[in-house]
Amino acid sequence: MEAGETMSIGDSGKVDLEFVNVTHSIVQAINPVVHTPEGAVVYGLDKRMDHTPVIGDPIDMERFREIGREGDGVLCYIEDCTNANKKGRTPSETVAREHLRDALYSMADYDGGIVATTFSSHIARVKSLIEFARDIDREPILLGRSMETYSGTAKRIGIDFPSDVEMVGYRQSIEQTFERIMNEGKENFLPVVTGHQGEPRATLTRMGRGETPYQLEDGDKVVFSARVIPEPTNEGQRYQAEKLLRMQGARIYDDIHVSGHLCQEGHYEMLDALQPEHIIPAHQDMSGFSGYVELASNRGYTLGRDLHVTSNGNVIELV
Amino acid sequence: MEAGETMSIGDSGKVDLEFVNVTHSIVQAINPVVHTPEGAVVYGLDKRMDHTPVIGDPIDMERFREIGREGDGVLCYIEDCTNANKKGRTPSETVAREHLRDALYSMADYDGGIVATTFSSHIARVKSLIEFARDIDREPILLGRSMETYSGTAKRIGIDFPSDVEMVGYRQSIEQTFERIMNEGKENFLPVVTGHQGEPRATLTRMGRGETPYQLEDGDKVVFSARVIPEPTNEGQRYQAEKLLRMQGARIYDDIHVSGHLCQEGHYEMLDALQPEHIIPAHQDMSGFSGYVELASNRGYTLGRDLHVTSNGNVIELV
Amino acid sequence: MEAGETMSIGDSGKVDLEFVNVTHSIVQAINPVVHTPEGAVVYGLDKRMDHTPVIGDPIDMERFREIGREGDGVLCYIEDCTNANKKGRTPSETVAREHLRDALYSMADYDGGIVATTFSSHIARVKSLIEFARDIDREPILLGRSMETYSGTAKRIGIDFPSDVEMVGYRQSIEQTFERIMNEGKENFLPVVTGHQGEPRATLTRMGRGETPYQLEDGDKVVFSARVIPEPTNEGQRYQAEKLLRMQGARIYDDIHVSGHLCQEGHYEMLDALQPEHIIPAHQDMSGFSGYVELASNRGYTLGRDLHVTSNGNVIELV
Amino acid sequence: MEAGETMSIGDSGKVDLEFVNVTHSIVQAINPVVHTPEGAVVYGLDKRMDHTPVIGDPIDMERFREIGREGDGVLCYIEDCTNANKKGRTPSETVAREHLRDALYSMADYDGGIVATTFSSHIARVKSLIEFARDIDREPILLGRSMETYSGTAKRIGIDFPSDVEMVGYRQSIEQTFERIMNEGKENFLPVVTGHQGEPRATLTRMGRGETPYQLEDGDKVVFSARVIPEPTNEGQRYQAEKLLRMQGARIYDDIHVSGHLCQEGHYEMLDALQPEHIIPAHQDMSGFSGYVELASNRGYTLGRDLHVTSNGNVIELV
């Protein structure tokens, strides 16, 4: 089943499942909508409101607005609140792409090593990295198990993704590839590796510890096209990884990224489009919900009446 | 009606109102308890769990534990969540007093101006300031309208408060007092003034702007026995006030304070004592509640069932 | 004298002054270089390393590299350290432009009021605002004294700037313009106003207080294409201004901006280009210098020997 | 050589070394002073200005003032800048002791496990823990290699330290002690263990992972009489350790501590006492120095003239 399609579910013949196209840090993201005789139930899975994604179609706001108006409207909207405490609008992937282009082009004259890392699952970002690597006359190579898995799949299922890029997943092959890079000259390559969160066993962290044949030298550039996931363990690991890389002389370019989750103005527009009767904030703890509850309250919803804050495993009965 | 007393309310003869003694940044603080045939309703107004307050009796935890066990127990507990996101235990006023003593005694040899500020309503703190001023051979004088109001009242209603301290409330009298201080020598006095939050018209801020006859000189000490209330407007004003004081040469001693509100371990102990059937967090927005909701959830309460998060003005029906 | 030009200064005939083109938040920014018999002295005034500025030429890195290599090289480099504690590379104005485009285009369907604010002196940003306003079928109008001054000058001196945009500087004319906007329909205009830092008397803040004929309504958008200058007084004012705007129903889009100052990787590249004999960090206090001193130390400079940290007004003798 | 003593060093007979008594988080702390014909050189090692330390004598400010006035005065003052960016005065150990007393006494009625941790080298704090444990009818036991080393030494060299407290250093003995505690009842003991920074192999972290015979239960208290050293790796480890402890049901009381280093007002008073001709801030990077440089500049010192900021390994020649 693909974005835009609908199928009947259950035996009654009265309930339909629809997939609405949305935009996120992965490709082919959808939000499921269950059409029931009492109204639609929209499950707002992870998304960004992107009108100019790098891969695929823009978020289908027109369809969301239709669902909000047609029949009995929206009975219930369950929404991902990851960024609900952040002001403003999550920028389009196009903005991250321009940011990345600016960073990589600024290194065009550098004749040493450049290494980049990002979320392996972020196919649009990996695509941009591949393209800009070529623009500055470097051969991109994807290195690391999850890099190979995600990008390989993207290629296979026909995503608009460079088909001719080298991908290397196994540890031994990675070492051989690094040896080849060192032999042919670091200045001709741009390895795209795993390790954006400083994971101790990821390829980039191993490079920082000097455990791979790739030798970082003073002035070499490391590009983190990702944000540190804000949790102390994570921050500690990433800090360590950067420290190791710096000790080898690497220069760090970080935070070249946009979030895949709606900030407050995106949530505002979703409520405006769907006009749901009931709202259930999800995917966060109480503190993470707070910005969303405030937003919904300002739009006339009331906690306990049509705005339902709960924990996982509880049943909310809507009449 | 005083702490420890109970009176019948309503016509049924079945409902009693009790005041339980608690400890807070003001004296004679109580938490009201309404005893109904369905159980007790405890209204957890602002409090700290202080077993060694500087003025008055310790918090009456024994009575709270009794209320938790007797009859039908506690039907509902409404709780102030001001500090519900803060770890640990709010220290006793005794700890703030020792901190203040240490700061003022360290200035015993200084022969220039020392000025202090705190919440006018914080009678225990004002008392400590008066006593330590005298310990280092300085005459304390309370200056500012609200200083006079609160401390005057404390004296009148028989609080254990120094009866012989000078208090000056009117602007003109304050100016005259400052002139007297300058004539007799700043080193003999310790003015306790209003302005702990940098309020633009408070006495301390006026001193910072050089608008009073009191002349601050290089090395003079200003003691903030208060914390900045964390809100940008406030922080801006306080920052400005400190900057003005520093430009006159003042040395700043700040944050000599303990909060008047329970932190998480105090909330934990209150729940342990009361064992309430229902809980309603209060006095905060959704973000402020979050630590409390997590705490209560860990103790087996469930949002929407026996843990009720709501906004002002909503009615929650129990039973 | 323009970027790229050189003139002789003093009587000796041995000292030349050169203006090297750089990129910053204002147009026509330059860095002066004094060529002396002992080597060049480069005064690194405010700049960003922008290879794709929205107005004007890219930073002239080629010339900086030449200056570093020719004759006796660079005797001394004085550098602006505003962002010296920030990691990574300051993005190009192109990135801010894409971010702004994304925000404004996302409002294309909105049929109420949209208002934007930015630094009046930031001509490239004002230009982008004008262009995107037109792209979404709104008439841009620049409002506020400094808006008129800067943009008027830009037009007059022949900057590549829209010549046909309306600019209104005087208070009375601003009120009349707002009345006209209200009469003709807010949805047809995009006022670009002063007040990005929440200055109490700026146009935007007055709009927030409801002191202008422009009536903000629920859902109207306010775009801050600027960052809050991080200083408590400022932060307090901006917070107040946003609060007022929100109380009127406005939705806030903030931080749509890139800095005009080099971050650490820009500083790294400047040192690489100039290879100066001596370095003097400037425009900051000791804390602001610290990242720069660390960077220079890693590149072999030594405090007190060829890396000179000082306060304003001191004389440093080189040679 | 002890605090207060002086000995001749070198062959000239003109240079004396003196140890001045100071107060710090360890006992018997001193600051060395070298008396030369050109004046005294004071090496300001780690210290707090404590007039009421829990163990030992107060800081000898009178002697510092004498050194500042006698003979040629102080040629050079080298000062530890650990807390030089922090406002106010570092409180006395007495304040931490009152804070700790308040926390432990508040647990007097608890009949489950209470565990505490602090710096093993902080003999005064360990002493307070031992005393308060006994005050609430629990037997204190020191557990962990470094606990045994430091406290054992303190006892041996005649520090005023409880001589009858049990100390266990070896892993196997620690396990046996925990078994005994579990057999005789957790409510009778207060283990003081290593692990205040969440070190992965420390005793407390092992308790959090359930690797010791001591079983934490819901409601058990863990007291951190220490502050997290602010560095990401550290913060990550401590966060992990607390998370593990909480998963076992532990309640956390943290930050019961005062620093061992002078804050700004302590530095101000040291400069006032010593009146040094030259100052060299130490033990920090440029960012850590900044508050000190500002303070010294306000008192008339000038960078490069009589205020010398440098890195390790450089020689500063004072005439």
Q: Is the pLDDT of residue B253 over 80?
A: yes
C237 Cβ neighbours under 8 A, 6+ residues apart:
B236, C197, C198, C199, C200
Which residues does chain D have within 8 Å of residue C286's beta carbon, measured at their own beta carbons? 286, 289-290, 293-294, 309
Residue ranges in D136-202 assigned as alpha helix (H) = 145-156, 171-184
- HSE-CB at C51 with a 13 A cutoff on CA atoms is 15
Would you call C161 helix, strand, or coil by DSSP? coil
pLDDT < 50: residue spans in chain D = none
Which residues does chain C have within 8 Å of residue A92's beta carbon, measured at their own beta carbons? 102
The closest CB to that of D239, out of A232, A238, A239, belongs to: A232
C12, C51 contact by CB (below 8 A): no
Contact B240 C233 (CB under 8 A): yes
Point out the least confidently predicted range of A301-305, B124-128, D255-259, D310-314.
D310-314
Check if B139 contacts D (Cβ < 8 Å). Answer: no
Contact B233 C236 (CB under 8 A): yes
Check if B265 contacts D (Cβ < 8 Å). Answer: yes
Chain A: residue nearest D234 by CA?
Answer: A236
The closest CB to that of C52, out of A102, A253, A272, belongs to: A102
Check if C318 contacts D (Cβ < 8 Å). Answer: no
User: Using H for helix, E for strand and C for coil, what is the string for B48-108?
Assistant: ECCCCCCCCCCCCHHHHHHHHHCCCCEEEEEEECCCCCCCCCCCCHHHHHHHHHHHHHCCC
Residue of C205, C237, C238, C239 to mutate, interface with B, max B Cβ within 10 Å: C239
Which residues does chain D have within 8 Å of residue A234's beta carbon, measured at their own beta carbons? 236
D248 Cβ neighbours under 8 A, 6+ residues apart:
D207, D208, D210, D216, D217, D220
Residue A35 confidence (pLDDT) = 96
B263, B89 contact by CB (below 8 A): yes
Q: pLDDT band for position B237 (50/70/90)?
A: very high
Task: Give me the phi and psi of A80, to 5 degrees please.
Answer: -65, 125
- Determine the Cα–Cα distance for residues A91 and A89; give it in Å rounded to an integer: 6
Q: Which of residues 69-88 of B touch A (CB under 8 A)?
A: 85
Would you call A54 helix, strand, or coil by DSSP? coil
C192, C117 contact by CB (below 8 A): yes
Check if C312 contacts D (Cβ < 8 Å). Answer: no
To the nearest whole Å, the CA of D255 is away from the closest chain A CA by 18
Which residues does chain A have within 8 Å of residue B314's beta carbon, measured at their own beta carbons? 302-305
- Output the six-digit token pair for D64: 């510092």
To the nearest whole Å, the CA of B79 is away from the closest chain A CA by 17
Residue C315 confidence (pLDDT) = 66
Helix (H) or strand (E) holding D233: helix D232-247
Q: Which of residues 180-239 of C touch A (CB under 8 A)?
A: 219
Check if C166 contacts A (Cβ < 8 Å). Answer: no
Q: What percent of chain B has pLDDT over 70?
A: 97
- Give the count of beta carbons closer than 10 Å to the beta carbon of residue C131: 17
CA trace torsion B172, B173, B174, B180 (10° rounding):
120
Residue of D284, D286, D293, D306 to mutate, interface with C, max C Cβ within 10 Å: D286
Q: Which of residues 266-285 of A touch B (CB under 8 A)?
A: 285
Chain B: residue nearest A308 by CA?
Answer: B304
Contact D272 B219 (CB under 8 A): yes
Over residues A81-126, the pLDDT tens digits come to 999 999 999 999 999 999 999 999 999 999 999 999 999 999 999 9
Domains and CATH numbers, chain A: 6-89+260-298 (3.60.15.10), 93-253 (3.40.50.10710)
Residue B304 confidence (pLDDT) = 80
To the nearest whole Å, the CA of A311 is away from the closest chain B CA by 7
Which residues does chain C have within 8 Å of residue D314's beta carbon, measured at their own beta carbons? 302-305
Mean pLDDT of A184-209: 97
Q: How far is the CA of D306 from the CAs of B161, B309, D37, D78, D297, in angstroms? A: 51, 61, 19, 12, 10
Which residues does chain C have within 8 Å of residue A255's beta carbon, measured at their own beta carbons? 87-88
- Give the count of beta carbons closer than 10 Å to the beta carbon of residue B275: 14
Which residues does chain A have within 8 Å of residue B315's beta carbon, measured at their own beta carbons? none
Residue D12 confidence (pLDDT) = 87
Contact B98 D102 (CB under 8 A): no
Rg (CA), chain B: 22
Indicate the pTM of the whole model. 0.91
The closest CB to that of D293, out of C286, C304, C308, belongs to: C286
A236, A205 contact by CB (below 8 A): no
Helix (H) or strand (E) holding C95: helix C93-105
Which residues does chain A have within 8 Å of residue D237's beta carbon, measured at their own beta carbons? 236
Which residues does chain D have within 8 Å of residue B238's beta carbon, measured at their own beta carbons? none
Residue ranges in B136-212 assigned as alpha helix (H) = 145-156, 171-184, 203-208
Contact A314 B303 (CB under 8 A): yes
Residue C199 confidence (pLDDT) = 96
Which residues does chain C have within 8 Å of residue A52's beta carbon, measured at their own beta carbons? 102, 105
Q: Which of residues 45-64 of C touch A (CB under 8 A)?
A: 49, 51-52
Mean pLDDT of A151-180: 94
Which residues does chain C have within 8 Å of residue D290's beta carbon, measured at their own beta carbons? 285-290
Contact C240 B234 (CB under 8 A): no
The pLDDT mean for chain A works out to 94
Residue D305 confidence (pLDDT) = 86
To the nearest whole Å, the CA of A96 is away from the closest chain B CA by 30
Assembly ipTM: 0.95
Residue B287 confidence (pLDDT) = 86
Mean pLDDT of successive 10-residue stretches along chain C, which has 319 residues:
91 93 96 95 96 97 96 94 96 98 97 98 98 98 96 92 94 97 98 97 96 97 96 92 96 97 97 96 87 92 86 65
To the nearest whole Å, the CA of D297 is away from the closest chain B CA by 13
Contact C232 B236 (CB under 8 A): yes
C-alpha A214: how far from its chain's center? 28
